[in-house]
Amino acid sequence: MKTEEFLEQIKSYIPADQLGSFLSQSEALPMPNRKLESWKYFPTKFLNFEKQEQSTTLDLAKELNRLKAPGMDVLVTRNGQVQTDLSTDKVKLKELSASDFQLESMETKLDVLSVYSEGQKLELVMQDSKALQIIHFIDSDKSFFNFKLNVDEAVELEIYENFVAVDKVQAHFVSEIELKKEAKLKYYSQSELSSSAQVYTHSSIGLSEAALYKSVVSDTDPGKFRRKTKVNLNGERAHADMKAFYLLNEAAIVNHKIDVNHNVPNATSEQLYKGILDGESKAIFDGMVYVAKQAMGTDSQQLNKSMLFADSAEVITRPQLEIYADDVACAHGATLGGFNRDEVFYFQSRAIPEEVALRMLAVGYAEEIFQEVENKEIHKDFLDQFLDRFSQYKVDIHEL
Amino acid sequence: MLEIKDLHASIDGKEILKGINLSVKPGEVHAIMGPNGSGKSTLSKILAGHPSYEVDSGSVSYEVNFKNEDLLELEAHERAQKGIFLAFQYPIELPGVSNFEFLKTSFNEICKSQGVDELDDEAFDKFVREKMKIVEMRDEFLHRPVNQGFSGGEKKRNEILQMAVLNPHLSILDETDSGLDIDALRVISEGVNKLKKSSNAIILITHYQRLLDYIKPDYVHVLSGGQIIRTGDSSLAKELEDKGYDWIVS
């Protein structure tokens, strides 16, 4: 899309009094397009801001009942607006303005659009809540939602973020999370997107000394999801542990764009992203670990593994390291394959038919990620959703 | 129970077995020894039905429940359901698949094939814990991924645990003694002996006499160049231990 066309289209999503600020703030920023390294592999043709008719409406009460994780407070949004009647009141919501977000680190006009849009901009003040489920329902043409969260010193928090979107919608989310000294955040996320739904998240997580960020993400749907995650390790002994699984069929696309920045010495990070692809689906793992000159003692692991069930499916994997420090231990890699014949034979030699063996192997493949979910109810959600979707897949030993 | 006649087999176009003849009756223990590359593991994989191996000619007849089956016509899992068990020389690791789930599924597939009620988690848990005592296996191994992070000895114990759970008619133990220390060898051998019955048979593939000190074979066969070149009693194994294979292999 041309810049002029984009600017014309997005006007209707920005309040009149914010338009000037948006234009000046985004003036120097590029449009998302294939010339940009970070958008090179995601088809930007989907990023169209023309108004579209939307006829499917979600039954929120019913959906909430289905998705609600026991024992967690809940914050419900619908098309970028918090639904207070469906949310618990433990979490205080503080209104923010666009300038409260890290505008200087935003990379494209699209990142800036969300915070200047009509979507809410909130700080989530957790008060005494230690476990929060954020459920985003998307059933309107275009929507935006932005939040910030500070996790105070030595506080342990669990966030479970769900995205549910119907066809022909496009939603953008910006989130900024700061973990203070020794704070711990366990972040889980799962999506259910209809085939033509698009969701774009732009998450930024900052970690102070000895802080821990652990994330497990599961996308098992046929929609289009671009998850951009930037992790800044700003304190020594901070640790980011990021795991994700994708199960993709038909024309689904999942794009993990990850930047892990080791800005100080002795911080550690780990990424393990795995998935299974069938049909015409596409997975893009675009991960960068940046180690600054002063970040001695960094230990970072990065691995992307995918299994292809069809020749028509596509994986683009870019595990990248950019290291300026001398004394570091960094590893990165990627694998692509199908089922292993010897593994299948091992099952068969124990009386288990090939079809059952392949399904057990696939579950085991996913479970390597899901087992990282410490909350049993959420783990069950992840596994159940995977099993439900995977039961519709045809499995055989697909030799590449 | 098992009748192998003039079996020729190959992998990737290379002939490995060049006319094997072997007869195994219920209650018998057969040891198959031989130099590296003689075809011992190939024979075990062909009997278990590994799809990478091609049977070029010959027959394998397997009698179970008073019925003769053409073993080569059966899929690998069907052979296992009918009581063929292969303990792997190098047991496979299965990340993400728990030992409990693997054993339970395996056991229940056999129950299903035999028209017997399957066991639920609770009943199988009780059942498998009894079997674990046979190989002195600790409970913690039950819920770990199959063979992942297991030592060599633990993997071999796990193989014999599977044998105990599945209660096969014909067990083929492919170098189950390799990589074991003396204590583990004793425990595993005692486990196998506890599972020996007059109605089942065991084929032991080994390089060493030491395993046969614990599990007494009725017959010892020497496999070389894809053929059984000599058969004798347990004294043959002792002779091989003393003299090596040179005197027997032309």
Question: A367 CA to chain B: closest CA distance, Å?
Answer: 5
Q: Which residues in A299-383 belong to E strands, given as ranges?
A: 299-308, 314-323, 329-337
Residue B30 lies in a domain: no
Confidence of residue B250 (pLDDT cuts 50, 70, 90): low
Which residue's entry shows tokens 């030595």? A154
Interface membership of A360 toward B (CB under 8 Å): yes
Q: Which of residues 34-63 of B touch A (CB under 8 A)?
A: 48-52
Nearest-5° Cα angle at B54, B52 to B59: 135
Residues 87-146 of A with CB under 8 A from B: none
For tokens 């028209």, the residue is B115
Q: Does A361 contact B at CB distance below 8 Å? A: yes
Is residue A172 in some structural domain? Answer: yes
**How many domains in chain B?**
1
By DSSP bridging, strand B170-174 and strand B145-146 are unpaired
A48-52, A112-116, A361-365: which range is least confident on average?
Answer: A48-52
Phi, psi of A39 (to 5 degrees): -120, 15
Distance CA A135, CA A163 (A): 6
Interface A-B, measured as beta-carbon pairs within 8 A, has a size of: 76
Tokens (6 digits) for A324: 């300026």
Q: Write down the pLDDT at residue B56.
A: 94
Most B CBs within 10 Å, among A350, A365, A370, to test the B interface: A350
Domain count, chain A: 1
Residues of A in contact with B110 (CB under 8 A): 351
Question: For an interface test with B, which of A340, A342, A347 has the most B Cβ atoms less than 10 Å from its Cβ?
Answer: A347
A335 touches chain B (CB under 8 A): no
* Radius of gyration for chain A, computed over Cα atoms and rounded to the nearest angstrom: 21
pLDDT class for A392, splitting at 50, 70, 90? confident
What is the distance between the alpha carbons of residues B6 and B25, in angstroms, rounded to a whole number? 18
- List, for residues B97-143, the tens digit of each pLDDT value: 999 999 999 999 999 999 999 999 999 999 999 999 988 888 889 99
Burial of A400 (0-12, 13-18, 19+ CB in 10 A): exposed
Q: Using an 8 Å Cβ cutoff, are B165 and B134 in contact? A: no
**Rounded Cα distance, A283 and A19, in Å:** 35
Contact B96 A350 (CB under 8 A): no
What would the DSSP string read from start to end of A150-166?
EE-TT-EEEEEEEEEE-
Here the CATH number for the domain that contains residue B92 is 3.40.50.300
d(CA A69, CA B218): 62
Average pLDDT, chain A: 94
**Does residue A355 belong to the interface with chain B, where contact is any CB pair within 8 Å?**
no
- The C-alpha atoms of residue B153 and residue B176 are separated, in whole angstroms, by 9
Q: Which of A346, A365, A396 would best serve as a mutation to test chain B binding (most B beta carbons within 10 A)?
A: A346
* Separation of alpha carbons A118 and A126, rounded Å: 24
Q: Which of A364-378, B58-72, B231-245 has the lowest mean pLDDT?
A: B231-245
**A26 — phi, psi (to 5°)?**
-100, 0
Closest approach of B248 to chain A, Cα-based (Å)? 34
Measured CA to CA, the distance from residue B160 to residue B177 in angstroms comes to: 11
Residue type at B40 in one-letter notation = K
Chain B residues closer than 8 Å to A371 by CB? 96
Once rounded to an integer, what is the mean pLDDT over residues A100-121?
92
Stretch among A132-141, A185-194, B174-183, B218-227 having the lowest mean pLDDT: B174-183
Residue A83 main-chain phi, psi, to 5 deg: -100, 90
The pair of structure tokens assigned to A339 is 């089922």
Q: What are the pLDDT digits (tens) for A60-86? A: 999 999 999 999 999 999 999 999 999
A150–B contact, CB cutoff 8 A: no
Residue of B nearest to A362 (CA): B96
Residue span of the structural domain in which A167 resides: 3-338
Q: What letter does residue B87 receive in the DSSP assignment?
A: E
Distance from CA of A200 to the nearest CA of B (A): 30
Helix crossing, B121-134 with B99-113: angle to 10°? 100
Q: How far apart are CA A365 and CA A275, in angstroms?
A: 8
Q: Which residues of B touch A342 (CB under 8 A)?
A: 92
When the pLDDT of each residue in chain B is averaged and rounded to a whole number, the result is: 91
Q: A359 CA to chain B: closest CA distance, Å?
A: 11
Any domain includes B25 = no
Nearest to A348 among B52, B80, B94 (CB): B80
**Domain membership flag for residue B94:** yes
- The answer for residues whose C-beta is within 8 angstroms of residue A393's C-beta and 6 or more apart is A247, A249, A276, A278, A309
Is A345's CB within 8 Å of B76's CB? yes
Measured between alpha carbons, how far is A154 from A180 in angstroms, rounded to an integer?
7
State the pLDDT confidence band at A399, using cuts at 50, 70 and 90.
low
Residue B238 lies in a domain: yes
Q: Tell me what ipTM this predicted complex has.
A: 0.95
A383 touches chain B (CB under 8 A): no
In whole angstroms, what separates CA A194 from the centre of its chain? 16
Q: What is the pLDDT of residues A148-179, one digit of tens each?
A: 999 999 999 999 999 999 999 999 999 999 99
Q: Strand locations in chain B, DSSP E?
A: 2-11, 14-24, 29-33, 53-64, 67-70, 84-87, 94-98, 145-146, 170-174, 201-205, 219-224, 227-232
Q: How far apart, in Å, are the Cα atoms of A97 and each of A26, A84, A299, B179? A: 16, 20, 37, 67
Q: Is the pLDDT of residue A55 over 80?
A: no
What gap in Å lies between CA B99 and CA B80, rounded to an integer? Answer: 18
Q: What is the CA radius of gyration of chain B?
A: 18
Q: Is A397 on the interface with B (CB under 8 A)?
A: no
**Domain extent for B207:** 74-188+202-216+229-243
CA distance readout (Å), B95 to A302, A365, B143: 19, 7, 12
Residues of A in contact with B145 (CB under 8 A): 364
Residue B184 placed within a domain: yes
Query: Using an 8 Å Cβ cutoff, are A126 and A91 in contact?
Result: yes
pLDDT at A3 over 90: no
Q: Distance (Å, rounded) from C-alpha B201 to C-alpha B207?
A: 20
Question: How many helices (H) does chain B have, and how many strands (E)?
Answer: 8, 12
The pLDDT, as a whole number, for residue B169 is 94
What pLDDT score does A75 carry?
96
Residue A400 has pLDDT above 70, yes or no: no
Mean pLDDT of the A376-390 span: 95
The pLDDT tens digits of the residues spanning A304-346 come to 999 999 999 999 999 999 999 999 999 999 999 888 889 999 9
Q: Which residue of B has its CA nearest to A372?
A: B96
The reported pLDDT for the residue numbered A2 is 80
Q: Which of A342, A352, A364 is the closest to B77 by Cβ?
A: A352
